[in-house]
Amino acid sequence: MTRKICVVTGSRADYGLLCWLMKEVQADARMQLQVVATGMHMSPEFGLTFKDIEADGFHIDEKVEMLLSSDTPTGIAKSIGLGAIGMADALARLQPDIVVLLGDRFETFAAAQAALVARIPIAHLHGGETTEGTIDEAFRHAITKMSHLHFTSTEEYRERVIQLGEDPQRVFNFGAAAMDNLSRLPLLDRAALETALGFRLGKRNLLVTFHPVTLENASASLQFEALLQTLEELEDCHLILTKPNADTDGRIIGGMIDTFAAKHKERTAAFTSLGQLRYLSTMRLVDGVVGNSSSGLIEAPSFRIGTVNIGDRQKGRVKADSVIDCTPDKKSIQAALRQLFSERFRQSLPAVLNPYGDGPVAQKIAHVLATLSLEGLLKKSFYSPTPNTKTEAQHVQ
């Protein structure tokens, strides 16, 4: 009997990581792919990116509207409720055998609630990670406890999922899902990228992505203003800025980006969404990534470029030697950028190893989804590892 695998995606970011797994499921006769698009995918403000999913050849089985036109804590909380309601209806219609979720966002949390109550096993990607500056930290660990299969991006994260009481036989470390994009996506060269962006790269270039630190009150504008002031003073450097996700105070940063880009048109380009192809092609050709996006920690090291990681949003994540941490103030950001452009730092980059692996990932996850017995999967016992005992890593050949 064909196993129905329902992949839920709520943003451009998680879709970019899930698309290769979706292709693997779609191509496997043992499985039937179901796709649910929700969250930012359905919002004009964030580029109606469900169209990108369809353009890649996927049929969207359900579209779940959930975002209110608000980035306040009250608006986000209400959006979670709407998401749970919409996902409940979608899952009742689709009746999947497994729901696949990635990450830590509130859209994903809403989907996990609905699947758990519907008694549908959840396969969760990228559990066990820590981002101490955001509410996503709690969402991620809550989703882990709601889930039944786990696919982590490093062995350290696998151990943390087990520390949360999950059975080691259900926790698999195949590396970060993003690694498939780096090995399988044909990236654009400089001329093609400039055409795609409508923007010419300069002698030096930076890719800038900054999200609100959602566990801090009224800090978004102050922190981002410190970054913009620093970028404004950079000489002979072109900037590609991408706007933040639908987080609390995200619109504040989006408005500041528009104002800055309008003031510095000759050397700045701003985008609501670049999509995976343009984003990774840009990353490959710039001198560094600046901000607080997870992509600066997970994908950037594979391109042997430096990352200036600002503030606490990614605090606690595993980091390569190419990541330069700094506090969200002008003086610290300036020092980090000086290090990024220094000859000594640049000479160290070819030797950088990416702790998130090199793939392939999607093929291994798809094999588990197709073959693992679902019998008894819903009922979980709390696993308590004995002191000083390492658990055996799960691998699929």
Predicted local distance difference test score (pLDDT) of residue 396: 45
Per-residue pLDDT at 395 exceeds 70: no
Average of pLDDT values for 268-279?
Answer: 92
Taking Cα atoms as reference points, which of 396, 343, 378, 15 lies closest to residue 167?
378
Predicted local distance difference test score (pLDDT) of residue 1: 85
In degrees, rounded to 5, the angle at the alpha carbon of residue 38 between the alpha carbons of residues 257 and 299 is 55
Average of pLDDT values for 239-254?
Answer: 83
Question: What is the number of residues in the chain?
Answer: 397
Predicted local distance difference test score (pLDDT) of residue 343: 97
Predicted local distance difference test score (pLDDT) of residue 144: 98
Of 79-93, 133-147, 209-223, least confident by mean pLDDT is 209-223
Q: Identify the H or E element spanning 63.
A: strand 62-64
CATH match of 3-177+361-371 with 3.50.50.60: no
Average pLDDT across the chain, whole number: 92
Give backbone dihedrals phi and psi of 93, rounded to 5 degrees, phi first. Answer: -75, -40
Model confidence band, residue 190 (pLDDT cutoffs 50, 70, 90): very high
Same CATH topology for 3-177+361-371 and 187-351?
yes
Question: In Å, how far are 135, 202, 361 from 164, measured between CA atoms?
Answer: 18, 47, 23
pTM listed for this prediction: 0.86
The residue with greater pLDDT, 392 or 192, is: 192
Strand partners, 9: 37
Question: In Å, how far are 22, 180, 284, 308, 331 from 357, measured between CA atoms?
Answer: 20, 10, 17, 21, 34
CATH match of 187-351 with 3.40.50.2000: yes
**Encoding tokens for residue 301?**
């090291």
337-392 pLDDT, tens digit per residue, is 999 999 999 999 999 999 999 889 999 999 999 999 999 999 999 999 776 555 55
The residue with greater pLDDT, 47 or 30, is: 30
43-84 pLDDT, tens digit per residue, is 887 778 899 999 999 999 999 999 998 878 899 999 999 999
Average of pLDDT values for 289-297?
Answer: 95
Model confidence band, residue 246 (pLDDT cutoffs 50, 70, 90): low
- What count of other Cβ atoms lies within 10 Å of the Cβ of residue 331? 11
The residue with greater pLDDT, 130 or 92, is: 92
Residue 114 in contact with residue 135, Cβ under 8 Å? no
Strand partners, 270: 241
- Amino acid identity at 269: A
Percent of the chain with pLDDT over 70: 95
Predicted local distance difference test score (pLDDT) of residue 387: 64
User: What are the domain boundaries of the chain?
Assistant: 3-177+361-371, 187-351
